[in-house]
């Protein structure tokens, strides 16, 4: 009774430091084993190691025996027949490594793949074999247990319990859940988290996520060795995969930590990656040998130091920067490091083959990573909201500034419009009123009214000093020509001039002429007619309009006296040339036979085309 009570206290102490889930589950089974006084269950802690020729205490681990790595050890245990042996019986092996064959009094009652290749791998997985009570004999009974393990220094046998199946099965179920089922759940969660994290890395392409995925994937692979019993791979290859994946865990997590905390150790990182790559390549030569396990132990120890250094630097970063955004992941990684040291001590320095806790930290680490990602997501959302608020304020400020600029622009446009309108009025006065003044001059001259002619001529000269342009709206070329013809007929109606008009069928033209071009063409024509009326003493005026080779051609000819010998272009002629150049056209005069002058204007049709201007609203 005292022994089992002591064992229960030991179990309570051992499980109390694990996760709350494990405690809640396992404590429910804490006292399922009845008192030893019932004599229904025997616990055997001493065995004759037939292979070694000596008596050993259980648990017995080969790594602590000078004659270790024999491959197979035959244990023989003797015990008296249980007093209550009528019910179904069972042998319970809490821990063996790796394959086992169990015989009771020469009868095989259990085999975990002892004779198969690759053999069964029971690594920290409890085994329960049931048998009939008829196999017992009176007096001492012999239990032969053969343990077979590859030369990896970890062959072991724990204390053996034998007795009623109904008493041992609950204990087996508890230990199986703790050492096997929870490992499967932990590994499955790790694998699922890795699969979920891969798209995150793919979208963001940050090496931090890549190294965390690598470490978690390596952890998931290494965890398979705990519960995967029948491996469809050669033993040497499987051992190589498992030990390499164990080494990749601290390597990948260390590189993940450096990127998480924005630390840079390029030389150290290159050295660790290069050394690990060389070791992985070199280790293939020793796979399946004792040297391989010795080399991997050194490699694992160096990587554990590397991982501890990374965690130390991470905490230094937290303290110095007072940035606790990664506190969860830092705490989880520190716990992983502590549990790794714990398991290494258990494995290397004691004969204990249970109580390995490292694999239980995987869900905790993944939870911490999930919290970190949630925190980063919340931070990103808050930052986005802050940026949106800032953007809205900047947009409002920009709109205000734009409104002010628009108001200033409107003022400038209004000023420019007033100036343009003023210039248009001046130009119209020059061309329209000037033409009328010219008519007055001619009429006054014919009536020999010298005074009136001089006054009109003076006013006309003043108007010629005003040069302006104006624009109203686009107009059809056909309509523009009709205006020209009507205006010209009106101007010559009081004279003896005869007008000959030739439009070459352009009366049906659909060409739209922009306002500025229409104004310039009209002013050129008006000035040309004024010159004929003023100087030509002609009896006939010929106007011809045509489109030729994408050029609008306007020809104005008279049969007057022609150019004077001392002809010098006056301001009106210069104005006509300036208007022609504004339209990218040409204008020139020539004398014609038998007498008279012809004015030829050529303007590209492209410079006449109407341009759609934006509508300005107030």
- Does one domain contain both 50 and 104? yes
Question: Cα separation of 378 and 367, whole Å?
Answer: 16
Binned at pLDDT 50, 70 and 90, residue 352 comes out as low
What is the average per-residue pLDDT within 602-615?
70
pLDDT of residue 39: 54
Q: Would you say residue 407 lies in a domain?
A: no
What is the average per-residue pLDDT within 417-431?
70
Q: How many domains does the chain have?
A: 4
pTM for this structure?
0.55
Binned at pLDDT 50, 70 and 90, residue 353 comes out as low
269, two tokens: 């990182």
pLDDT of residue 103: 95
Q: Would you say residue 577 lies in a domain?
A: yes
Residue 543's domain comprises 473-618
3-state secondary structure of 448: coil
What is the average per-residue pLDDT within 332-354?
70
- Does one domain contain both 266 and 147? no
Q: Would you say residue 444 lies in a domain?
A: no
Give the model confidence (pLDDT) of 470-495 as tens digits. Answer: 445 688 888 888 888 888 887 787 67
Binned at pLDDT 50, 70 and 90, residue 15 comes out as very low
- Does one domain contain both 69 and 152? yes
CATH number of the domain where residue 578 is located: 3.30.565.10
| Residue 59 preceded by cis peptide, ω within 30 | yes
Question: Cα separation of 323 and 262, whole Å?
Answer: 12
Where does a domain end: 143, 178, 213? 178
pLDDT of residue 85: 67
Which of 99, 103, 148, 155 shows the shortest CA–CA distance to 129?
103
The two beta strands, 540-548 and 498-502, are: parallel
Q: Would you say residue 395 lies in a domain?
A: no
Task: Give the helix ranges, DSSP H, for 228-360.
Answer: 235-260, 266-283, 290-321, 327-349
- Does one domain contain both 158 and 247? no
Most confident region among 107-111, 362-366, 494-498, 610-614 by mean pLDDT: 107-111
Binned at pLDDT 50, 70 and 90, residue 68 comes out as very low
Residue 215 has pLDDT above 70, yes or no: yes
- Does one domain contain both 525 and 617? yes
- Does one domain contain both 51 and 66? yes
Q: What percent of the chain has pLDDT over 90?
A: 16
Q: Would you say residue 383 lies in a domain?
A: no
Question: Cα separation of 164 and 584, whole Å?
Answer: 116
* Residues 6 or more apart whose Cβ sits within 8 Å of residue 463: 429, 430, 433, 434, 437
- Does one domain contain both 305 and 352? yes
- Mean pLDDT rounded to a whole number for the chain: 78
- Does one domain contain both 216 and 164? no
Residue 461 has pLDDT above 90, yes or no: no
For the chain, the C-alpha Rg in angstroms (whole number) is 54
Give the model confidence (pLDDT) of 82-103 as tens digits. Answer: 876 678 999 999 988 888 999 9
- Does one domain contain both 27 and 49? no
- Does one domain contain both 224 and 359? yes
Q: Would you say residue 450 lies in a domain?
A: no
Residue 357 has pLDDT above 90, yes or no: no
Binned at pLDDT 50, 70 and 90, residue 324 comes out as low
- Does one domain contain both 254 and 366? yes
- Does one domain contain both 50 and 12? no
Element (DSSP H or E) covering residue 502: strand 498-502
């Amino acid at each position: 009774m005292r022994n089992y009570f002591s064992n229960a206290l030991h179990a309570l102490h051992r499980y109390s430091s694990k996760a709350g889930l494990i405690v809640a589950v396992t404590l429910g089974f804490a006292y399922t084993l009845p008192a030893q006084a019932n004599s229904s269950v025997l616990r055997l802690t001493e065995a004759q190691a037939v292979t070694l020729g000596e008596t050993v205490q259980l648990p017995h681990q080969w790594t602590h025996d000078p004659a270790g790595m024999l491959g197979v050890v035959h244990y023989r245990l003797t015990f008296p027949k249980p007093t209550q042996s009528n019910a179904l019986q069972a042998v319970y092996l809490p821990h063996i490594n790796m394959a086992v064959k169990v015989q009771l009094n020469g009868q095989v009652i259990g085999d975990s793949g002892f004779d198969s290749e690759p053999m069964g791998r029971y690594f920290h997985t409890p085994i329960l074999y049931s048998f009939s009570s008829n196999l017992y004999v009176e007096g001492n009974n012999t239990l032969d247990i053969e343990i077979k393990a590859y030369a990896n220094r970890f062959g072991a046998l724990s204390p053996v319990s034998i007795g009623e199946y109904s008493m041992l099965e609950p204990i087996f179920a508890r230990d199986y859940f703790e050492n096997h089922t929870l490992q499967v759940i932990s590994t499955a969660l790790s694998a699922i988290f890795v699969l979920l994290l891969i798209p995150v890395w793919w979208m963001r392409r940050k090496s931090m996520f890549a190294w965390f995925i690598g470490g978690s994937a390596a952890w998931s692979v290494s965890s398979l060795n705990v519960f995967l019993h029948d491996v469809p791979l050669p033993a040497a290859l499987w051992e190589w995969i498992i030990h390499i994946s164990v080494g990749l865990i601290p390597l990948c997590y260390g590189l993940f930590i450096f990127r998480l905390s924005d630390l840079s150790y390029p030389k150290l990182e290159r050295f660790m990656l290069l050394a690990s790559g060389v070791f992985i390549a070199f280790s293939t030569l020793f796979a399946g040998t004792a040297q391989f396990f010795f080399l991997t132990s050194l490699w694992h120890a160096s990587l554990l130091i590397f991982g501890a250094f990374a965690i130390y630097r991470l905490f230094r970063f937290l303290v110095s920067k007072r940035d606790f955004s990664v506190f969860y992941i830092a705490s989880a990684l520190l716990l992983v490091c502590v549990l790794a040291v714990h398991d290494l001590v258990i494995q290397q320095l004691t004969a204990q083959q249970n109580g390995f806790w490292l694999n239980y930290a995987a869900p905790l680490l993944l939870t911490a990573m999930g919290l970190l990602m949630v925190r980063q997501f919340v931070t990103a959302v808050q930052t986005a909201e802050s940026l949106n608020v800032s953007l809205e304020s900047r947009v409002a400020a920009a709109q205000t500034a734009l409104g002010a600029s628009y108001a200033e622009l409107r003022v400038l446009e209004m000023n420019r419009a007033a100036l343009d309108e003023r210039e248009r009025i001046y130009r119209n006065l020059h061309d329209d009123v000037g033409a009328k003044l010219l008519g007055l001059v001619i009429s006054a001259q014919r009536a020999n009214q010298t005074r009136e002619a001089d006054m009109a001529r003076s006013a006309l000269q003043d108007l010629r000093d005003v040069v302006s342009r104006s624009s109203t709206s686009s107009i059809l070329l056909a309509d523009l020509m009709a205006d020209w013809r009507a205006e010209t007929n009106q101007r010559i109606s009081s004279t003896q001039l005869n007008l000959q008009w030739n439009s070459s069928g352009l009366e049906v033209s659909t060409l739209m002429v922009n306002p500025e071009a229409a104004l310039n063409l009209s002013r050129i024509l008006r000035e040309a007619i004024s010159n004929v009326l003023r100087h030509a003493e002609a009896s006939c005026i010929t106007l011809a309009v045509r489109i030729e080779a994408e050029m609008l051609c306007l020809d104005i000819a008279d049969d007057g006296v022609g150019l004077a010998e001392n002809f010098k272009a006056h301001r009106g002629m210069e104005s006509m040339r300036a208007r022609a150049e504004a339209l990218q056209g040409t204008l020139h005069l020539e004398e014609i036979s038998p007498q008279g002058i012809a004015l030829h204007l050529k303007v590209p049709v492209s410079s006449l085309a109407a341009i759609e201007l934006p509508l300005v609203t107030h």
